[in-house]
A and B are shown apart, each in its own frame.
Chain A
Amino acid sequence: MKKLLAVLVFVLCAGLLMVSSSQSGMSWLTHARYQPNSLLGSDKYLYGDLYGISYLSNFKYIKDVSAVRPDELISKQKDISLYVIGDSYFYSSFEIIPAYFERVNSIQFFKWDHSPEVKFKFSQGSTKRVLLVESVERNVLNLMNKERVAAIFEKPEVIQDKSVFAQINRSIKQILYHPTLEENLSFALFDLALFSKFKELKAELNLSLFGREPAGVKLAKSKDFLYLDQTVDSVADGSSFQLVSEMRLTKLVQDMRQIEDYAKKMGFDEVIFSFIPNPVSVLATEDKSYNQFIPRLENKVGSIHFVNPTDELKQQAKQNFFKSDSHWNQRGAKIWLDLLNKQLLSLPK
């Protein structure tokens, strides 16, 4: 009996370690977790990413994941190839297809944090090449520099310590210790709908007893929205309430110009920048004053093409965002798509 117990524990733990340490194991598990009605199902993202972080039961709304329907756009000429460097806002609530834009015939999307496997090449054809640089407000200061953009288009050489010791260290770590093992184990063991009730209970207990929201999440003063903590915390980088000096804004504009110059040298005809405001900047639920980061920047950018959806999103603001997700909903996304479409139409032929 004792031996059987030992065998059982060994097999379970070793199996868990193997699955959590391998890419294919985690892919299999993730696939199984997000199957509808799966026994191993997870509801981490079913109700919005901020519910998935916080498990606050008041925010358990099933997230509408349908995509914005494209308008019937009349177009004489589809003459733009759109290249986008962006974040999850660019594929939240709409699809990465040209149908939303009158002049666009193709879109290639590059995520900020994914460096390419192979060197970038323009697609064939004589269309106008437009680069859209998109980011949510909280990440702008961190992302807007030429090197970050260049890393997307040029397969960057990873700078690593080349000493023998460092190389041995890296090799051993790669073989024996998966870099995200802890997260993978947590996902494998506890990311089950079965445990959601316990997670909700813990979250409610901490909130009601200690007034403490789960790490990473902040409840709006009005209690009807969840925000990423970083966007509300006045001392965090990327917060809507952190003071950003005029000097820093001027530097940012210089960085944007450098990106523009770099992109044009690469072969792009036009560059458009668009920064999406943090939901809290638009919803204005807090008793702190917004640092006006995006509107102030807009006043400084001069000839740079800049799409700022802040004012439009502020109209009936609460209808433009999910309550338990860090992204806009279909209505918010549509507002931005229309503004971007207008900007693309205004570009010279």
Chain B
Amino acid sequence: MVFNSLQFLVFFGIVTSAYFLLAHRFRWILLLAASCYFYMAFVPIYLVILLVTIIIDYWAGIYLEKFEGRAKKLFLACSLIANVGVLAIFKYYGFIANNVYHLANLFGREVHLPSLSILLPIGLSFHTFQAMSYTIEVYRGNQKAERNFGIYSLYVMFYPQLVAGPIERPQNLLHQFYERHVWDSDRVRAGIMQMMEGLIKKVVIADRLAILVDSVYASVGTHSRGQLLMASFFYSFQIYCDFSGYSDIAIGAARVMGFKLMDNFNAPYTAKSIPDFWRRWHISLSTWFKDYVYFSLGGNRVSVPKWYFNIMLVFIVSGLWHGASWNFVIWGFLHGIFQLIGFTLNRIFPQLAAKYATGLIRGIFYRVLTFSLVSLAWVFFRLVHFSEIKAYFKQLIFDLPSNSLLGMNSNEVLFSILLVFGLYYWDFKGLALRNIRSQYFVFLLPFLVAIIYFFGVFSLKQFIYFQF
């Protein structure tokens, strides 16, 4: 069930109204049942996999609290192995088997690992990471183990953020399931407005930009340099609107019922450096890696070579988190390299650091530079096959004659550019529909519905991040 569908609209109406009609003590049951229904709309049987990891992590949490020392470490290891194991089987097995085969081939050997024809459970990386953050926090003593199995299950499965985040922390979410949320008109309005903002980002902007992006990226070798650059520019905004649109709908839907989920985006393309970008992009994932991987490796309180190694490792793992494919590894590697170059330059020329770029010209320069680097990396994110990546850069460098069309006429290109710049201005000014005064809600809502209807592209296109 995707957020930009009528099924979700009806589902949301039923669940939210029932939530407010039910007595507080029954609400978690309703939410859990609704979350199961939501998840099973994709592949019902995969609920079993989720249930297995939930049971393991639930008991691991309780035993982590009971035991100390080596036993405690053992329970944490069990939980992490179970979660990573599920990821390894369902997400990475095919990738590993394929690489083993090719590696053996290099040495003149044939090694065929047995093939598993299994579908990747939707949102696996998201809820697995959320589950791991629970056991790690219980291990660290920052979170009490949850005794109510239903509530713990709901923590992992809460439908708004189940399949594409934000990846929540137990300290932020678990206690909210015990809180009595009453109907607060301002909060409901703000939630609905945030959902509308997300829908606009998805169906009006992302899916419109996708028309050109899909058309060009379908055959990169036959498009001109200008067309490739335009497609890359649009893709940067497509993926942003697609993913942040999803997050807005998720956060808004939870907000309507009184839940406060963490923000996942903060105007990422206004960033003046790559580290700044990562403080604004997919915040719930980047903070996850920072808290649980980077700091565990020693962060920056180690020697410079080790620090650089830590950064590269985190970004490469982050790339792999996105997908079991080398192009995602390269994407992560590039972001790591950009960070290292930035840190090195900052050490040599501290006065040039982005944080000092307060003037207009320097500010624009740093933002354009950051955006360009991020967009360059997105090429590796979008193109899965090396042959495509090679064709892209060959055409980008040599601009060989081509006569392929963009998939849009000039008016639509212009309209799309206006949407992109409008969005950028909106982000730059820190505007948000949820902050609009409540008295305008009655007028604004039908207006936004009309915008979505008349300018939206309705293709029930999946959210890009669902594949992770």
Contacts and interface: CB of A to CB of B under 8 A. Distances in A.
Contacts of B20: 2-3, 6
Interface string B272-294: 00000000000000000000000
B149 interface: no
A125 interface: no
Q: How large is the interface on B (under 10, 10 to 19, 20 to 34, 35 or more residues)?
A: 20 to 34
B107 interface: no
B460 A168 contact: no
Contacts of B5: 182
A14 B10 CA distance: 8
Interface stretch (B38-46, B130-138, B317-325): B38-46
Interface in B182-202: 183, 185
Contact of A205 (B14, B41, B454): B454
Interface residues of A, number: 34
Contact of B6 (A12, A168, A182): A182
Given A6-B21, A10-B13, A210-B415, A181 B409 contact: no
B462 interface: no
Interface in B32-57: 37, 40-41, 43-45
Interface in B1-42: 5-7, 10-11, 13-14, 16-18, 20-21, 37, 40-41
Contact of A3 (B7, B14, B16, B21): B21
Given A209-B412, A209-B415, A13 B183 contact: no
Contact of B14 (A17, A20, A185, A210): A17
Contact of B454 (A7, A12, A181, A201): A201
Contacts of B6: 182, 185-186, 189
A13 to B, nearest CB: 4
Contacts of B43: 169
A247 interface: no
Given A9-B16, A13-B17, A168-B45, A185 B10 contact: yes
A9 B185 CA distance: 15
A13 B14 contact: yes
Contact of A210 (B37, B411, B459): B411
Contacts, number: 77
A197 to B, nearest CB: 12
Interface in A31-78: none
Interface string B427-468: 000000000000000000000000001100001100000000
Nearest to A20: B10
Interface stretch (A102-110, A146-154, A171-179, A260-268): A171-179
Contacts of A172: 40, 44-45
B423 to A, nearest CB: 19
B74 to A, nearest CB: 32
A228 B164 CA distance: 36
A202 interface: yes
A165 B45 contact: yes
Nearest to B211: A212
Contacts of A165: 45
A28 interface: no
Nearest to B416: A210
Interface SS of chain B = helix
Nearest to A184: B6
Nearest to B459: A215
Given A7-B21, A202-B453, A209-B412, A185 B16 contact: no
Interface in A196-225: 198, 201-202, 205, 209-212, 215
A173 B13 contact: no
A16 interface: yes
A189 B40 CA distance: 24
Given A168-B44, A211-B409, A17 B18 contact: no
A172 B16 CA distance: 23
B45 A212 contact: no
A10 B14 contact: yes
Contacts of B45: 165-166, 168-169, 172
B208 to A, nearest CB: 9
Contacts of A16: 10
A2 to B, nearest CB: 5
A202 B453 CA distance: 8
B408 interface: yes
A320 B267 CA distance: 57
Contacts of A9: 13, 16-17
Given A182-B7, A211-B411, A212-B412, A177 B14 contact: no
Contact of B10 (A13, A198, A209, A210): A13
B10 A17 contact: yes
A210 B410 CA distance: 8
Contacts of B459: 215
Nearest to B43: A169
Contacts of A168: 44-45
Given A6-B21, A209-B412, A185 B453 contact: no
Contacts of A2: 20, 183, 185
A204 to B, nearest CB: 10
A172 to B, nearest CB: 4
Interface string A183-194: 001100100000
A7 B185 CA distance: 16
A210 B412 contact: yes
A202 B454 contact: yes
Contact of A182 (B14, B412, B460): B460
Contacts of A13: 10, 13-14, 17
B94 to A, nearest CB: 19
A9 B40 CA distance: 24
A189 B13 CA distance: 14
Contact of B409 (A166, A186, A210): A210
Nearest to A177: B41
Contacts of A198: 453
13 contacts: A2-B183, A6-B21, A10-B21, A13-B10, A16-B10, A17-B11, A20-B10, A169-B45, A173-B44, A185-B7, A210-B412, A212-B412, A215-B459
Given A13-B14, A14-B14, A177-B41, 9 more contacts: A3-B20, A6-B20, A6-B183, A166-B45, A169-B43, A182-B7, A209-B415, A211-B412, A212-B409
Closest 9 CB pairs of A and B: A13-B13, A172-B44, A10-B17, A185-B6, A210-B412, A9-B17, A6-B17, A211-B409, A13-B14
